[in-house]
Chain A
Amino acid sequence: MSIIVNNLSKTYSDQKAVDSISFEVKKGEILGFLGPNGAGKSTTMKMLTCYIPPTSGNATVCGFDITQQSLDVRQKIGYLPENNPLYYDMYVKEFLEFALKVNGQKSMVNSNQAIKNAIDLVGLEVEQHKKIGQLSKGYKQRVGLAQALIHDPEILILDEPTSGLDPNQLADIRHLIKELGKEKTILFSTHIMQEVEAVCDNVVIINKGKIVANDKTSNLQTRLAGEVLIEVEFENMVSETELNKIENIHAIEKISETNFILHGKESTQLRKNIFAFAVSKNNALLTLKQETKSLEDIFQQLTN
C-alpha cells in the first residue's frame, strides 16, 4: 500500500473540515478524489503532504507516518498544491533547478538530466526559456506538474491539476496524468466527473468531510445500472396513462407531447415492450435511445 489513511480528521476551530475518513491507495493506482468545493479534499491533501497536522487519526505514506516521519514522507511525494503557487519572477529552468535542490538533489549532472526529462514529459520545450510569470495558465500548470515530478517521486498528490484550463489543455493534462499513472501512484482531486471517468482506476467521493463512496470507477457506474433511462419519441401524441400500462416502467418524464424519458428496469425487455406498445397503437417509434447514468448523476445523488 502506498497511502493508508486511517480515521483522519481535521477540525478548524468549530468546523469539521475532514471527519474521520479512511481509504487506501495501492501502488501504481490512480485514485480520483472527488467532491464539491469545500468538501475537505484540499485539507486531506495538505495533511498527507505534512503541511498541516491532523486533529486526530493517522496516515502513512510509503510506510512513513505523516506526523512522526514528516521529512521521509515529503521526500517520497511530489505535490501540486491547489491554485498552483509558483515564483513568477523565476525562469522555468531556474525554478525547476530550485525545486530539485530543495528536494535534496545535489549532483549537477543528474539535475540537468532530470530537468530536461521533466520538461520533455510535460511538454514545456517551447516555453522553457521564459519567465514563469510570462506563461499562459496552461503552461504554468505544466510547470507546476514538472515541479511535482522533478525528483521522480513514488507518489504524486495533485490538487485540482486541471482547474481553469481550456478543453485542449485539459485533454493534454489528463493524458499526462494517465501516462504518469503507469509508473507512479497518483492521488488527484477534482470536482469534474468526466475527469474521473477518463483517468482514474478508483474513486473516493467525499462530501462535507465524510467519504460517501469508495469504489472502482467502473463499479460506481454500474451501481445504479439497475435502473435504465430510455428516451423515446413517437410520431403521434401519446398520453402518460397509456405509457404507464407498459410493464417494467416506474416513472415517466414528459418532455413534450411525443417525447418522453422512461425510467425502468431490465433494459432489453423494456425496449421490447415499448416497441410492442408502439406497434399496437399503430404509432411509429422515431427514437428509442438508452442512456446510462453517468458518474455525474451518481455524484449529485451522493452529495446532495
Chain B
Amino acid sequence: MTAILKKEINLFFSSLIAYISMAVFFVVLALNLFIFEGNILDSNYATLDTFFTLVPWILIFLIPAITMRTFADEKQNGTIEFLATKPITDFQIVVGKYLAALILWFLTFLPTLIYFICVKKLSLENAPIDSGATIGSYIGLFFLGAVFVGIGIFSSAITNNQIVAFLVGVFLCYLMYDAFFRLSSLPIFEGRLDYIIQSIGLNAHYDSISRGVVDTRDIIYFLSVISLFLIATRTALESRKWS
C-alpha cells in the first residue's frame, strides 16, 4: 500500500498535475479574496466567508481533475493488470491511491492558511477575526475535499476514459454538495423529509462545522461517505471478475 502511495505521489509531482492544481487553487482564491470586486479589503469585515463559500465550487472542478487519471489511466494502459496480479488486495490498491490524492489535496489546502494569517494581522484589535469559526471552517473544508477525492477516485475506477472520469466526478461532486440541498427546498418535501434530504448532502454538514462547532455527527458523516465511495471503488475494480 505504501509502495502505491509513494508511486502516486511521485507521479503527481513528476508530472505537472500537482504544481498546476496548487497554483490554480491558490491564485484563483487570492484574486477573489483580495483583488476582485467584493474583496474583503473593501468590505471592511475581518472574515473569510467569501473564501469558504467560493472554495467548494472550485473544488468541484479541481479535485476530479486531480483524480481523473488514477484508475482510468491504469485501465487504459493495461497496467491495472500488472497491479492486480501482484500479491496485494484490490482494497490496498484503492486505499493507497486514495491516500496519495488526499495528501495532494492536503498540500494544496495548506497554503490557504496564509489567508487566515493575513486577515488576522490586518484586522483591528477591537474587531478580530472569529478564529474559532474560521478553524472550524478549515476543518470542514478539509473533509469536504476528502469526500471529493473519494468521489473522484470512484469516477475514475468506473471507466478507462479520463474525460468521462472527470465529467462523472464533477457531476457526482455537484450532486453531493449542492443538489441535495436544492432538492430539499422544493415545496413537495414537507416536514422532516426536507431535513433528511438536506442531511444527505455535504452542504449541510460543511455549514454546520463552519459555525465553529465540530460535531462528531458531522465527522462521522464525512468518514462514512468516504468509506462508501472507497468500497464502491473496490467494487468497480472487481467488476472485471463478474463476466
A-B CB proximity, top 8 nearest? A85-B78, A101-B3, A74-B87, A75-B87, A102-B86, A49-B85, A85-B79, A81-B81
Q: Is B227 an interface residue (CB 8 A)?
A: no
In contact, A102 and B78 (Cβ under 8 angstroms): no
In contact, B79 and A74 (Cβ under 8 angstroms): no
Please name the residue on chain A nearest to B4 by beta carbon.
Answer: A102
In contact, B78 and A98 (Cβ under 8 angstroms): no
Q: Is A50 an interface residue (CB 8 A)?
A: yes
Q: Is B223 an interface residue (CB 8 A)?
A: no
Interface centre among B3, B4, B77, B86 (most CB of A within 10 A): B86
In contact, A89 and B241 (Cβ under 8 angstroms): no
Please name the residue on chain A nearest to B84 by beta carbon.
Answer: A51
In contact, B240 and A52 (Cβ under 8 angstroms): yes
Please name the residue on chain B nearest to A11 by beta carbon.
Answer: B243
Q: Is B7 an interface residue (CB 8 A)?
A: yes
Q: Cα distance A85–B78 when bound, in Å?
A: 5
Q: Is A188 an interface residue (CB 8 A)?
A: no
Range of interface residues on chain A? 20 to 34
Report B's interface with A, CB cutoff 8 A: 2-4, 6-7, 10-11, 14-15, 77-89, 240-241, 243
Q: How many A-B residue pairs have CB under 8 A?
A: 63
Give chain B nearest CB distance to A137 CB in angstroms: 15
Q: Is A167 an interface residue (CB 8 A)?
A: no
In contact, A81 and B85 (Cβ under 8 angstroms): yes
In contact, B86 and A103 (Cβ under 8 angstroms): yes
In contact, A81 and B78 (Cβ under 8 angstroms): yes
With A51-B85, A88-B77 given, name 7 new contacts (CB 8 A).
A12-B243, A52-B243, A71-B87, A81-B78, A85-B78, A85-B81, A104-B88
Give chain B nearest CB distance to A178 CB in angstroms: 24
In contact, A102 and B88 (Cβ under 8 angstroms): yes
Contacts of A72 in B (CB 8 A): 87
Contacts of A87 in B (CB 8 A): 7, 77, 79
Q: Is A53 an interface residue (CB 8 A)?
A: yes
Q: Cα distance A99–B15 when bound, in Å?
A: 20
In contact, A98 and B85 (Cβ under 8 angstroms): no
Restricting to A80-133, which residues have a CB under 8 Å from any CB of B?
A: 81, 83, 85-90, 94, 98-99, 101-104
In contact, B14 and A102 (Cβ under 8 angstroms): no
Question: Given contacts A98-B3, A103-B86, is CB(A86)–CB(B243) below 8 Å?
Answer: no
In contact, A50 and B89 (Cβ under 8 angstroms): no
Q: Cα distance A75–B88 when bound, in Å?
A: 9
In contact, B77 and A104 (Cβ under 8 angstroms): no
Q: Is A13 an interface residue (CB 8 A)?
A: yes
Question: Given contacts A81-B78, A98-B3, is CB(A52)–CB(B241) below 8 Å?
Answer: yes
Bitwise, A15-52 to B at CB < 8 A (1) or not (0) is 00000000000000000000000000000001001111
Q: Is A145 an interface residue (CB 8 A)?
A: no
Question: Given contacts A12-B243, A51-B240, A89-B11, is CB(A102)–CB(B83) below 8 Å?
Answer: yes
In contact, A81 and B241 (Cβ under 8 angstroms): no
Interface centre among B14, B77, B87 (most CB of A within 10 A): B87
Q: Cα distance A272–B43 when bound, in Å?
A: 112
Kindly identify which residue among B87, B88, B241 contacts A53, using a CB–CB cutoff of 8 Å: B241
Q: Cα distance A46–B240 when bound, in Å?
A: 11
Q: Is A299 an interface residue (CB 8 A)?
A: no
Please name the residue on chain B nearest to A53 by beta carbon.
Answer: B241
Q: Can you list 22 A-B pairs with a CB-CB distance of less than 8 A?
A: A12-B243, A46-B81, A50-B85, A51-B81, A51-B85, A52-B240, A53-B241, A71-B89, A74-B87, A83-B78, A85-B77, A85-B78, A85-B80, A86-B79, A89-B15, A90-B7, A99-B86, A102-B4, A102-B86, A102-B87, A103-B87, A104-B87
